[in-house]
Structure 1
Amino acid sequence: MTPFDAVRPVLGSFRTAPTPRGVGRTRHNLGVLADAAARDLDVARLAEAHLDAVTILAELGGPAVPPGSCWGVWASEPPGVEVRAHHDDGAWRLTGRKPFCSGAAGPCTHALVTAHADDGRRLFAVDLAADGLTVTTGEWRATGMRGSAAATVDLDDVAAVAVGGPEAYLDRPGFWHGAVAVAAAWFGGAVGVAAPLRRAGREGRLDDHGLAHLGAVDAGLDAARCLLRGAAVSLDTEPGEPVATARLRALRVRAVVEAAVDATLCRTGRALGPGPLVRDAEHARRVADLEIYVRQSHAERDLATLGALAGDADVTL
């Protein structure tokens, strides 16, 4: 089975017309992501990026999504590495290096790429069949997330289509809505990791300490689930909210989900010991995948940002 074969059913389950958000689409799509992540975080990571790309294209008036295509969003910009965009004879061209490009070696057929132009940072749609693209694989050394392992892509005067104006990618509520979708995938991954612990509880194989771990995991995951559902309802009913509102919500959701993920990873291991990690290849892979995926969080930096906003936040019931 190719990576696209595994991702295609998930992409077909999303509701994206006319846009991926609103009228109940958000909760449905977050549920699709979470369910996929509980089974396979590599697939969920690629599907989440495609959903984000389709949403961005709808919100910023980008080109149409070709039937059967799979999109990535390549926005990583570590220090000292960048892509430059220049406008020549009425067309945009991209040159530079972009690291951490999930799906670049398959199954992605297109990508949204951030690049720096004379008027600021912009977002561009790129057909991965275009001339001038070189994909370097084999740099991913981690055990986790190998199925969506990020490659490095070098662009040499590659044709591109601008999506929105300067800084439009970040300066919109949808950027933070997409951050919630990532948290939904983290949540699903934690549900998958916790499955052996729940099974041990059902089968009466846990002592009091194990049951305490299961109770804590269940409480944390249920809190995360409730917050994700509430966020989905808000996005479906208030899609035109201010950026500040979307940002505060996303930071809260991600903080709660990340805490539930951390607790699930730790407590499942403490309750069950090394057995599942050494004898159950699927469980061991889920743990390794989730430990990598949740590091998309900025950890204490995100909590510090949330803390700076929390003083004026409404916390009434």
Structure 2
Amino acid sequence: MNPPRRRWQAVPISSTPEQLADLDPTLEAVAAAVEDVPALLAAANEAGKSAPKPGGGDTARLWELLASVASIDVAAGRILEPHLDAGAILSQAGMADFFTGTWAVFAAEGPGTRLTAQPGPQPGGVQLTGSKPWCSLAQFVDHAVVTAHTATGGRGAFAIDLRDAGVTCIDPEWTSRGLREIPSGTVHFDRVAAVPLGDDGWYFQRPGFAWGGMGVAACWLGGAVALGRYFKAALIRGAHSQREPDQVALASLGEVDRILTSTSQYLARAAELVDGGRLGGVDAPAALAAVPPAELRHAEAAKGEPEGGGGQGAGAWSEALRVRGTVAAAVDRVQQLVSQNLGPGPLAFDDRYGKCMADLSLYVRQHHATRDDAELGALTLKGEHAW
């Protein structure tokens, strides 16, 4: 008897299929838990016990895990990525022992909301008061890394327990068709005990800030791979039904292959740079952490770099912008090619395909498109490039 067909296939970035076999238990758990948020969080918790940390020598393996999970279900990747990112942040802060249970990262800012860090009742203690927008799955996870404004005018990162009595999670009016199981709403904090992670500005200045941004792009790539595989399978099914693909379909599949292959190879190269210590941090004054990350990077660019960039302490965010922009463009083009060739049928009648399209469309909009390219252009103008 033939073994049952697996519902997953890992996404290689630099590993061979044999080397990817150790991902099978996680991928099996994810495949069995699609749309079940507690089960997906349990799978993320288990994966986090052994997942590589970015910059630790196995960054490509970490991104293969993220891409592979997202190729099964984009929402599952959206759940796993912040959990692993929180673990990496805690490790970089020298607090790896805090990484128990399930975690999120809440670092967004929004009009009308402000979260402030203040001295607590205990000597050296810190409390958070105020509101934080875009807090995904706050009702489900145990802990979070949260950024808050500090008395110095900067922003710091803090570890908190979301079960604290001072935390109030408001159910958002989440009408999205994409990532429907991952509502993102505003969380209110009333004197919530917090543990500082690094000094003011550390969260944004560490190289890991850029590395985490590239990890999100690995999830986007996984969703695009899923669509490419679906497209190929559809053409094979058509051929078996005497509907051989025409030149347009073959050209589209060829372009999808070219895009996915080159994008995967770019991520492999970026992982080598991360692990080789060739991408440093922002090295900006701590006070700059009070401004949004984009403005912080512009301020750093204004200091000037030698032509060609490079060197420890330069280039991490430039490379993150390149990676994220390259993957986002790949996702947009793959979605266009696949949807144009397959037409409305699978969008109307194939739940898995439609879910992947909707989830990926929302997730990839974390990339700021032309604005991120403008930010990269400012850094390029100052010399942060390799050409």
**Pairwise TM-score range, normalised by the shorter structure:** over 0.9
How many angstroms does 1:183 deviate by? 0.3
Other structure's SS at 2:98 match = coil
Deviations 1:244-296 (A, max 9, x none): 32111111111110110000111111011001101101110110000000011
1:273 aligns with 2:343: yes
Other structure's SS at 2:128 match = strand
Q: Name 1:218's counterpart in structure 2.
A: 257
How many angstroms does 1:88 deviate by? 2.6
Other structure's SS at 2:202 match = coil
Amino acid at match of 2:164: A
Q: How many residues align?
A: 313
Q: Name 1:78's counterpart in structure 2.
A: 110
CA distance in 2, matches of 1:183, 1:15: 22
Amino acid at match of 1:207: D
Q: Is the 8 A contact 1:74 1:101 kept in 2?
A: yes
Q: Is the 8 A contact 2:315 2:384 kept in 1?
A: no
How many angstroms does 1:239 deviate by? 7.0
Deviations 1:119-176 (A, max 9, x none): 2211111111111111111421111011222122111111111111111110111100
CA distance in 2, matches of 1:180, 1:113: 20
Q: Is the 8 A contact 1:21 1:239 kept in 2?
A: no
Which consecutive unaligned segments of at least 5 residues does structure 2 have? Answer: 1-32, 283-313
CA distance in 2, matches of 1:268, 1:125: 42
Taking CA–CA contacts closer than 8 Å with sequence separation of 6 or more, which of the two structures ends up with the larger relative contact order? 1
Other structure's SS at 1:64 match = helix
1:255 aligns with 2:287: no
Other structure's SS at 1:77 match = coil
Q: Is the 8 A contact 2:116 2:129 kept in 1?
A: yes
* Higher alpha-carbon Rg: 2
Q: 1:279 to 1:76 in 2, by over 3 A?
A: same
Normalised by the length of structure 2, the TM-score is 0.76
Q: Is the 8 A contact 2:87 2:96 kept in 1?
A: no
1:30 aligns with 2:69: no
1:236 aligns with 2:269: no
Match of 2:181 among 147, 151, 172: 147
Amino acid at match of 1:75: A
1:55 aligns with 2:84: no
CA distance in 2, matches of 1:85, 1:161: 10
Q: 1:88 to 1:6 in 2, by over 3 A?
A: closer
CA distance in 2, matches of 1:86, 1:315: 43
Q: Is the 8 A contact 1:15 1:29 kept in 2?
A: no
Q: Name 2:196's counterpart in structure 1.
A: 162
Amino acid at match of 1:266: Q
CA distance in 2, matches of 1:239, 1:51: 22
Match of 1:5 among 22, 26, 39: 39
Amino acid at match of 2:206: R
Normalised by the length of structure 1, the TM-score is 0.92
Q: 1:253 to 1:15 in 2, by over 3 A?
A: farther
Other structure's SS at 1:20 match = coil
How many angstroms does 1:242 deviate by? 4.0
CA distance in 1, matches of 2:56, 2:108: 31
CA distance in 1, matches of 2:55, 2:267: 15
CA distance in 2, matches of 1:162, 1:310: 34
Q: Name 1:180's counterpart in structure 2.
A: 214
Q: Is the 8 A contact 1:85 1:93 kept in 2?
A: yes
Which consecutive unaligned segments of at least 5 residues does structure 1 have? Answer: none
Q: Name 1:199's counterpart in structure 2.
A: 233
Q: Is the 8 A contact 1:30 1:184 kept in 2?
A: yes
CA distance in 1, matches of 2:263, 2:49: 23
Other structure's SS at 1:170 match = helix
How many angstroms does 1:214 deviate by? 1.4
Deviations 1:203-245 (A, max 9, x none): 4342211122211122111111011111112222227734332
Other structure's SS at 1:295 match = helix
